[in-house]
Amino acid sequence: MRKNVLIVGAGGVAHVVAHKCAMNNDVLGDICIASRTQQKCEAIIESVLRKNHLKDPARKLYARQVDALNVPELVNLIKETKSEMVINVGQSYINMSVLEACIETGAVYMDTAIHEEPDKVCENPPWYANYEWKRRERCAAQGVTAILGIGFDPGVVNAWCALARDEYFDTIDTIDILDVNAGSHGKYFATNFDPEINFREFKKVWTWVDRQWVQQKVHSIRVDYDFPVVGSCPVYLTGHDELHSLSKNIDANSIRFWMGFGDHYLNVFSVLTNIGLTSEKPVKVAEGVEIAPLKMLKALLPDPSSLAPGYTGKTCIGNFIRGTKDNKPREVFIYNTCDHAECYQEVEAQAISYTAGVPAAAAAILVARGDWDVKTMVNVEELPPRPLLNLLDSMGLPTVVSEKPVTFTAPVIEHVASV
């Protein structure tokens, strides 16, 4: 049994993690939310209390200020708060410092997105080998449980791959992970999470085709797919975290990720990128001030957390998997749909934050119970999937398996030179 959770970060995902942890604090113990800006942590706590989500009022829910790039400061915070589990949902730049603090203190480490260095974008695959897996031996040696990428994608989609492998297929040919937000925030343009991290995803496309890494141009390969519930949506071949562990851990010929974008989104993104506004490289502006264009863009775009109150519509994220079972071809679509307004009603967040945050809270419960306390570093597909999926069924993110899905057909994906 593990007790007491430290949530690092105070954005939209942290908000959802805090709500769901509070709703399970009889299992999880005390909850501390720590971030560079303590005020943002306190706003989350106000939301939790407003919704009356603190299940056991005898357990503490409190805020702390922390510089999450400072390992000794994190170590002190973990010790002082007696946190045995750390859920890191801050900016991707802090992952390795938080992990180091967990290794030093023996606390469980969980995150929802891959580590990034501010000055590097879309490094060579597999991405996990660049930072996370370099620390795997040390986690194993010291019995530290580190669960990488336990949001929705990566996270639940990885568990679905494990489920498919364990229960639905003898051989897997292709896994296509499809992520579409068919909701509307009513703004001219906005990103659903930190624009800085969001746009960094779109610099290059690395995908796993015929057991090789293949590089393609961004937004160059489109498929229109008729999703359950939300209907037909265009999706584009996109690079994404989970391919970088699934390619190693799941025996499949091709594993690809596709993200839904509307024409308006792509037009705006294309203009911004062509002008240079999505660049993380500082430029000199007239007065001699140097600043990254992406920082200016972030300052102008709506704060993702501000989108939640008016958000309507649904997300649909699913794995279309093709292979064989008992020597017969088989296709399944394993998916979840999530309604923005229902999420807001429940926890005052939109569905993008909700789908990423709920699985992390579920994982903390599984670790606290001992189901997932594996004393080493793992990606989600290396863990038994059923405990997570069963728990999520009752926590707001039910899994649906469609045995007769609409077929997803990808065009031939060729390797292109660097873009």
- Cα–Cα distance, 49 to 22 (Å, whole number): 9
Count of residues that bind a copy of itself according to CB under 8 A: 25
Give the residue with the Cβ less far from a copy of itself, 82 or 295: 295
Check residue 275 for interaction with a copy of itself (CB under 8 A). yes
Nearest to 357 by CA among 1, 69, 22: 22
What is the number of residues in the chain? 419
58 binds a copy of itself (CB under 8 A): no
Counting contacts by CB under 8 A, is residue 265 touching a copy of itself?
A: no
Closer CB to a copy of itself, residue 223 or residue 277?
Answer: 277
Q: SS3 for 259-285, per residue?
A: EECCHHHHHHHHHHHHHCCCCCCCEEC
Cα-based distances in Å from 108 to 35, 118, 377 = 18, 25, 10
Q: How far is the CB of 353 from a copy of itself (least distance, A)?
A: 20
CA dist 49 and 264 (Å) reads 38
Measured between alpha carbons, how far is 149 from 35 in angstroms, rounded to an integer?
20
Task: Tell me whether residue 50 or residue 188 sits nearer to a copy of itself (CB atom).
Answer: 188
Nearer to a copy of itself, 163 or 301 (CB): 301
Using only C-alpha atoms, what is the Rg of the chain?
Answer: 20
- Please, which of residues 77-96 interact with a copy of itself by CB under 8 A? none
Residue with tokens 């007769």: 404
Q: What is the nearest approach in angstroms of a copy of itself to the Cβ of residue 286? A: 5
Report the nearest approach of a copy of itself to the CB of residue 185 (Å): 14
Distance CA 114, CA 111 (A): 8
And the tokens for 379? 């990606």
Cβ 271 to a copy of itself shortest distance, Å: 4
Cβ 254 to a copy of itself shortest distance, Å:
34
- The residue from 50, 224, 263, 274 that contacts a copy of itself (CB under 8 A) is 274
Shortest approach of a copy of itself to residue 196 CB, angstroms? 8
Q: Which two tokens stand for residue 29?
A: 């113990």
CA 250 to mean position of chain CA atoms? 19
Identity of the residue, 58 or 286, whose beta carbon is nearer to a copy of itself in the bound complex? 286
- Contact track, a copy of itself, 347-386, x by CB under 8 A: ----------------------------------------
Please, which of residues 184-203 interact with a copy of itself by CB under 8 A? 188-189
Euclidean distance between CA atoms 316 and 226, whole angstroms: 11
Handedness of CA 342, 348, 351, 357 (dihedral sign): negative
Which residues within the stretch 280-339 sit at the binding site for a copy of itself (CB under 8 A)? 283-287, 289, 291, 293, 295-301
Minimum CB separation from a copy of itself for residue 118, in Å? 12
**Which tokens hold the place of 215?**
């590089």
- Contact status: 267 vs a copy of itself (CB under 8 A): yes
Q: Closer to a copy of itself at the Cβ: 52 or 267?
A: 267
Per the listing, tokens 């519509």 go with 313
How far, in Å, CA of 160 to CA of 386, rounded? 9
CB of 124 to a copy of itself, least distance (A): 28
Binding site for a copy of itself (CB under 8 A): 188-189, 267-268, 271-272, 274-277, 283-287, 289, 291, 293, 295-301
